[in-house]
Structure 1
């Protein structure tokens, strides 16, 4: 006979279900409300079921101008992803060897995680305003015409914005790669060198295939953290909004479910990226085991 579950099991299960509803309830509500009919509003009950708001969002010209902000956020997230993966791998390789000041450098690299995001954004914005003043002063002294007539600010998505996003994504990438290389068995690399492989061949044919699944994880971290970032973007993008900033700006004026459709679309993009990453990792596992 099977033993009956204690009453505490059902109490804890009920609390767990409440936790899941609290965690995913808002996202599910937005997903459902984004599929309302043309007469739908921002709250329940739903008025019809259709893809009207997605069609309006795709066509443009509605309350949420998605095109330029989406392309800007996507391009910035790609650049952040590539830089995060590259710098994280290089730093992980460097920290495999002990050198003076390594501990201090590590703490400095991950310190931005404990600093409030809005403070980081304000600090970077202040730095670039000082840089703007310096550029204008040099332009005036040197008589550089384009600086005097056309230069406005160095603030932008791929200058100050890129730096702000890297302060958020790089610490995660570094911590992941440090953990990976801390468990990495150097015997494989030694065997490759014994067989006559050069350092580059050892890295390309031995090290890189073994750490490839973790690089996919770092890439996903870099892309999604940049794609969704708002606080660190708020003061550093200049006149060009990213998609999260556009969303935040429109929440005070939107009166229809178009913004829900945008939220569903962006969330779906993030989920799709995660599914692709897990698929690639699962496809790599048999090859890594055979190797």
Structure 2
């Protein structure tokens, strides 16, 4: 029997290639065009090759302060990452034991995944405006409680926490509780059991939760649009620039933004691989010790 492929294989293969080009083609086009020469435009063909547009991004020139927006997004992303990890791990540990109202609390926690992002953003903004109206009545000179690390932080957490919680549920669903029982039998306290038994096992997944938290916050647009306050994050500045941009510096900024995301993903994958290798090595050493 021959190994000749059917016509449907080539048709589906061509369709898949076209789909990949449609999905990633614009992204790679932006990366390439960001290296235009000083007289380059927004479309092909390229007019020279240089790093001049990256220099303009870092120089701080232009209509908006891109450098400040970059720092704000970076700080907010790091705070969201830390809080997402801490709250998700704590909630995952808590949900391992049944308690009254756990089902309702679970559905409330993940409800924001199915809610339109703009509705969530508008709801948070309205909540803080009502809070401002209440404070104004009792305090003169008050402006607003909305800001990067108040309403903006809350808006981003409504997006990252459900993912972190679902990941923790998946982790503990296949966690061997006998390991904790053995630690308690040896006299370990609950904190020692968590620190020396549970955390080392779930640590690669916890790093993944942190990765989710940062990247989702770093690229968030809709939930930031109404709840971020008087300052803008980098995605909001990018959205504003797309309506007036005439030079490839916007492409350079997009390339830098993507590079930060890829760098975070790459570092997280390295940490996960190192932790998994250490777990396998410790498991092998423990097995040899028993022999």
TM-score category, normalised to shorter length: over 0.9
Q: How far apart are residue 62 of structure 1 and its match?
A: 2.7
Map 1:76-115 → 2, pairs under 5 A: 76-115=76-115
Q: Is the contact between residue 41 and residue 257 of structure 1 (CA under 8 Å) also seen in structure 2?
A: yes
Are 2:148 and 1:157 aligned?
Answer: yes
- Which 4+ residue blocks in structure 1 deviate beyond 4 angstroms? none
TM-score by length of 2: 0.95
- The residue aligned with 1:202 is 193
Provide the secondary structure at the position in 1 that maps to 2:226: coil
Map 1:269-284 → 2, pairs under 5 A: 269-284=260-275
Structure-2 separation of matches of 1:65 and 1:17: 39
Provide the secondary structure at the position in 2 that maps to 1:43: coil
- The residue aligned with 1:259 is 250
Are 2:213 and 1:222 aligned?
Answer: yes
Q: Is the contact between residue 165 and residue 226 of structure 1 (CA under 8 Å) also seen in structure 2?
A: yes
Are 2:39 and 1:48 aligned?
Answer: no
Structure-1 separation of matches of 2:3 and 2:69: 58
Q: What is the aligned length?
A: 282
- The residue aligned with 1:144 is none
Provide the secondary structure at the position in 1 that maps to 2:212: helix
Q: How far apart are residue 48 of structure 1 and its match?
A: 0.6
Q: Residues 192-245 of structure 1, C-alpha deviation per residue, up to 9 Å, x if partnerless?
A: 111111111110111000000101110000000001001000011121111101
- The residue aligned with 2:58 is 58
Q: Residues 103-158 of structure 1, C-alpha deviation per residue, up to 9 Å, x if partnerless?
A: 1111000000111000001111001000000011111xxxxxxxx13x21111110
Structure-2 separation of matches of 1:47 and 1:60: 24
TM-score by length of 1: 0.95
* 1:245 paired residue among 236, 246, 254: 236
- The residue aligned with 1:170 is 161
* 2:183 paired residue among 189, 192, 216: 192
Structure-1 separation of matches of 2:265 and 2:80: 17
Structure-1 separation of matches of 2:64 and 2:47: 21
Gaps of 5+ in 1: 140-147
Q: How far apart are residue 49 of structure 1 and its match?
A: 0.7
Q: Residues 150-207 of structure 1, C-alpha deviation per residue, up to 9 Å, x if partnerless?
A: x211111100000000000000000000110111110111111111111111101110
Gaps of 5+ in 2: 284-291
Provide the secondary structure at the position in 2 that maps to 1:235: helix
